[in-house]
Amino acid sequence: MKMLRRGLLALAVSAGMAAGATLVAADGPSKSPGRPYVPSAWQGLYGGVHLGHGEVGNFDDGLLGGIQIGRNWQSGNIVYGLEGDISISGMDHVDWMATVRGRLGYLISPSILLYGTAGLGLVNFGGTETDFVYGLGIEGKLTPTTTVRLEYLGFADTEIDIIRVGLNFKLNW
């Protein structure tokens, strides 16, 4: 099962990078020859939905879906923020899970954000358990107010691994 999970993760990252190449090309040439133009377009409040696949150790897996809300701040090519989410799970042993995480990322172009994330997770795993959550993701702008993301999250103690895609909408224009 771990081989399948690693393969899915590699495939997901590759697909995200390929999709990112298209978004980078859509940005057009840089506004200045030495440094790319990076507006503060990532800053602000956002909310959205996600859908993915979760796996608990080697004994349980299933689909999951939910919502997220967050706030980003931007300083040049650095984007940082806070995000909270809740997911309903189709796994046999997990009914729901929620996280509150910090995010720190780098804009590889004005439209593509690579980020890491870490924070607190709550998992309904027989009872409600707290856990440390960590992850990586890539997010790209579809429009000035809409982004799509591909994300991996790991729950340290409960051994839950998640790969999910999400769609976010900027809430303050």
Structure tokens, 86: 């809740």
pLDDT, residue 21, reads 47
Pairing outcome for strands 96-109 and 112-124: antiparallel
pLDDT, block means (10 residues), the chain with 173 residues: 49 50 49 52 94 93 97 96 98 96 97 98 93 98 95 96 97 72
pLDDT at 89: 96
Contact 94, 56 (CB under 8 A): yes
Structural domains present in the chain: 2-28+39-170 (2.40.160.20)
Q: Which pLDDT score is estimated for 38?
A: 46
Per-residue model confidence (pLDDT) at position 172: 73
Q: What is the pTM of this model?
A: 0.78
Strand partners, 66: 50, 87
Residue 7: predicted pLDDT: 46
Contacts of 114 (CB under 8 A, 6+ apart): 105, 106, 108, 136, 137, 138
